[in-house]
Amino acid sequence: MSFPNIPDVDAAITIPRGGTVSLLLASVAFEELGLAHIINAEAEKLQYVLGTIEGQVLPETPPTIAEVLMTNCSVNKTLRNVIKKEILLEFTLEDILKIAVDGGDIPVEAGSAWSVGTPFGQGNAQYFTLGCREKEKTVVLGLGNSNIPVGSVKVSLAGSIMSVAVSTTDPYMMNLIHLYIGDTVPPSSAPGSFPYKYPETDPSGFFTTHTFDIDVSGLSGNPFYLSVHAQIFLQG
């Protein structure tokens, strides 16, 4: 039976809050690994007494019923202590996750938001238009089926460059934006099929604003059709 390998940690280093949470979670994982080894050892103890370990040399005198029952009682006592430790680890894990969320290290996912306009396709997908005589427009960024206002989408056209600024208001933030611009209604309401996107996978880099600058010289612009989808999170 092997033992867990615990890496050396320099106590003098400075650890950010997010790193501290990760180390605490790792400590719980190491304790769980240690308990797994204890459970495995108790299983091997029973196997040894019963003579069922592969390659084991059986004793000349087999164990008595009393000895088997004594071993079983010892294993039962150890496993009861393991269960107690598991309960404590569960409390510890809950406290660690609460620290992470309350401290703002782990943003809480709120759902999908769309630029509010005309519904199309499935779900709460919507698009809006920028008319041939319009140079700018601002629409609400709405969360969920009830279009809860969580920000705005501001569009401005200067020559052949269209700027689309997507912003959220406190306490909302984003980790992914999909953008469709065309001279027809979006052919699909699946955001992943939109031609433009801005992703951020690291929670520390989740953002509240992003601007796309798109060359629309190849589009007729009579009118422009736009659709913005954003994945929304609540700051912890």
Together in a domain, 142 and 224: yes
Does any domain span residue 5? no
Domain check: are 228 and 121 in the same one?
yes
Q: Give tens-digit pLDDT for 155-168.
A: 999 999 999 999 99
pTM for the structure as a whole: 0.57
- The residue range of the domain holding 160 is 108-234
| Residue 192 placed within a domain | yes
pLDDT category at 8 given cuts 50, 70, 90 is low
Query: Residues 98, 113: one domain?
Result: no
Same domain, 121 and 227: yes
Residue at 142 is within a domain = yes
If you average pLDDT over residues 68-87, what whole number do you get?
A: 90
115 shares its domain with 94: no
pLDDT bin (cut points 50, 70, 90) of residue 202 is: confident
Same structural domain, 175 and 152: yes
96 & 114 share domain: no
State the total domains in the chain: 2
What is the DSSP secondary-structure string of the chain?
-----PPP--TTS---HHHHHHHHHHHHHHHHHHHHHHHHHHHHHHHHHHT-STT----SSPPPHHHHHHHHHHHHHHHHHHHHHHHHHHHHHHHHHHHHHHTTSSPEEEEEEEESSEE-SSTT-EEEEE-TT-SEEEEEEEETTTTEEEEEEEEEEETTEEEEEEEE-TTEEEEEEEEEEESS--S---GGGSSEEEE--SGGG-BSEEEEEEE-TTS--SSEEEEEEEEEEE--
41-55, 88-102, 127-141, 211-225: lowest mean pLDDT where?
88-102
Residue 213 has pLDDT above 80, yes or no: yes
Residue 31 is assigned to a structural domain of this protein: yes
Between 89-98, 101-110, 130-139, 158-167, the lowest mean confidence (pLDDT) is in 101-110
* Last-in-domain residue among 60, 82, 102: 102
